[in-house]
Amino acid sequence: MHKHNLPLCLVFLLCLLGFPGLHARSLTLDDALELAYRNNLSLQANMVDLKGAQRGVDTLWNIFLPKVEATLSYGGGVGTFISSSDLKTQTGLTLSANLMLNPSIKEQMEAARLEYKVQSVTYAQGRAILKRDITKSFYYLLMEKENLLLQQANLDLAKKQYEEVRSKYENSFASELELLSSELAYEALKPSYTQTKNSYESALLSLKVLLGLDLAEDLDLEGEVPSSGFAVDLAYLKLFLEQNYNLVLLDLNLATLKNTKALQGKASLLPTVILSSSYGISYAYPKPESLSVVFPAADQWNDTTQFSIAVSIPLDGHIAGSQTQVSLAKMQDAIDKLLLTRSQTKKQLEQALIARISNLNAITEQFEVARSNLSLTEKVYGMTMAQYEGGYTGYLEVEKIQGDLLKAQQNMLGLHYQYVTALVDLMYDLNIDTNTLSKEL
């Protein structure tokens, strides 16, 4: 029985070794994005910052907690001349609590909330950047994969034609020029194929890094590069510019600076209420003795309770040219500069938006020309092949039209990828997705 199963086991092992592609992980774009959101190290670092900011918001109440300290002391001494030389010690324990209240408490709480908003937008921007990069990389790989298939088919066809020409040459039905030309055409296709294959493998490694996968893992990408078809309107798309992550972060940084200036101004210029209290207990050894009837002996155990309410009024900050005034002036300068930066950034985004839409419109126009050119080239190729097979034309004509056909096919692939890349960048700049773009336009 075992002898009968042995050949089957050997065949199964040979299949496993001979077909490594069977073990490749199939990956769609949605699968790739899900992996990246879960495994990408840069995004995980952003999540750590976000959790820290969330913790700061959740513990805002600790601003109202007093500063509590416990002090344990031990000391002693002996008389020098007249007093007794016996060692006298005293052990004490003191608990103290201090609470400072300033009108800037509101700004302190707002600072924590603003920090959380900044980290939230930073994390969302990290996800959007990751989605943009992975989408472009994924579609590039699909395009290169299709390009490899085209080049491989063209390479196989060139090899087949070279063998046919060689057979004809041996039978004196083809010239030496046709033989050398067909061989040269076949060999000339190999470097381009190898270069495309290396580019594909390099891009695939980069994608694996973004996804947090093992670099040795085999991947089989599934999907297709979307075709054109979105009608874009510049005037309407400008309405989405305010959603751009860079502008949103600039607005949050501006709010943070204004809040910090208000906080520093209140803390440095307005009064601060200081509430303090303490309780101490001490033990003296040996027990104190009475010096006379007038001065009775102190207790061996002693405790004290103290409290105070103080108001601290800063005056130096109200002096013109003081450090406080200069610091506040510098913060206002930073606010004014950030406002200018925001205006400049928005202008640059508008300029980039115009350029992207112009690029999309240009690519859309090129599609029509490329489709017409591909259709015409395919017809010419079919007619040329028919004439060649009928003996009405030479191989050189076939070689030329084959090269033209490959270029036309690659041009269509390139235009599809350029269009998708421009569209992905546009959606990132406006912070919208494909569904939103389709619905709104």
pLDDT higher than 80, residue 262: yes
Q: Which residues contact residue 424 at a Cβ distance below 8 angstroms, ignoring those fewer than 6 apart? A: 132, 135, 136, 139
**Span 369-385, mean pLDDT?**
89
Note down the domain range covering 395.
32-76+86-440
How long, in residues, is the chain? 441
- Count other Cβ atoms within 10 Å, centred on residue 277: 15
CB-count exposure of residue 418 (10 Å: 0-12, 13-18, 19+) = middle
- Count other Cβ atoms within 10 Å, centred on residue 353: 20
How far apart, in whole angstroms, are the C-alpha atoms of residue 6 and residue 2? Answer: 6
The reported pLDDT for the residue numbered 8 is 46
**Span 252-260, mean pLDDT?**
96
- Give Dmax (Cα) for the chain: 145
**Span 187-208, mean pLDDT?**
91
What is the overall mean pLDDT for the chain? 85
CATH number for the domain harbouring residue 301: 1.20.1600.10
pLDDT higher than 90, residue 309: yes
How far apart, in whole angstroms, are the C-alpha atoms of residue 432 and residue 413? Answer: 25
Output 19 or 378, whichever has higher pLDDT: 378
CB 273 within 8 A of CB 309: yes
pLDDT higher than 50, residue 174: yes
The amino acid that residue 260 corresponds to is T
Number of domains in the chain: 1
- Count other Cβ atoms within 10 Å, centred on residue 325: 17
Whether the upstream peptide bond of residue 286 has omega within 30° of 0, thus cis, is: yes
Please report whether residue 364 resides in a domain: yes
| Span of 181-185, 196-200, 226-230, 369-373 with lowest mean pLDDT | 226-230
Long-range CB contacts (within 8 A, 24+) of 160-163: 161/185, 161/186, 161/395, 161/398, 162/186
pTM over 0.85: no
Output 361 or 341, whichever has higher pLDDT: 341
**Span 207-224, mean pLDDT?**
89
**Span 409-425, mean pLDDT?**
89
pLDDT higher than 50, residue 49: yes
Please report whether residue 23 resides in a domain: no
Residue 175 — pLDDT band, cuts 50, 70, 90? confident
Please report whether residue 262 resides in a domain: yes
| Span of 53-67, 163-177, 349-363 with lowest mean pLDDT | 163-177
Q: Which residues contact residue 208 at a Cβ distance below 8 angstroms, ignoring those fewer than 6 apart? A: 214, 215, 217, 219
| Span of 44-58, 104-118, 187-201, 286-300 with lowest mean pLDDT | 286-300
The reported pLDDT for the residue numbered 10 is 42
If you average pLDDT over each of 19-23, 232-236, 316-320, which comes out highest? 316-320
CB 139 within 8 A of CB 94: no
The reported pLDDT for the residue numbered 165 is 82
- State both tokens at 407: 């270029």
Please report whether residue 21 resides in a domain: no
**Span 157-169, mean pLDDT?**
84
Please report whether residue 1 resides in a domain: no
The reported pLDDT for the residue numbered 20 is 44
The reported pLDDT for the residue numbered 237 is 83
The reported pLDDT for the residue numbered 110 is 94
CB 158 within 8 A of CB 182: yes
pLDDT higher than 90, residue 126: yes
Please report whether residue 380 resides in a domain: yes
**Span 48-61, mean pLDDT?**
93
**Span 144-173, mean pLDDT?**
86
Please report whether residue 131 resides in a domain: yes
Please report whether residue 270 resides in a domain: yes
Q: How many alpha carbons fall within 13 Å on the CB side of residue 100?
A: 9
pLDDT higher than 60, residue 330: yes
How far lies 356's CA from each of 17, 71, 83, 237, 349, in Å?
48, 68, 95, 11, 10
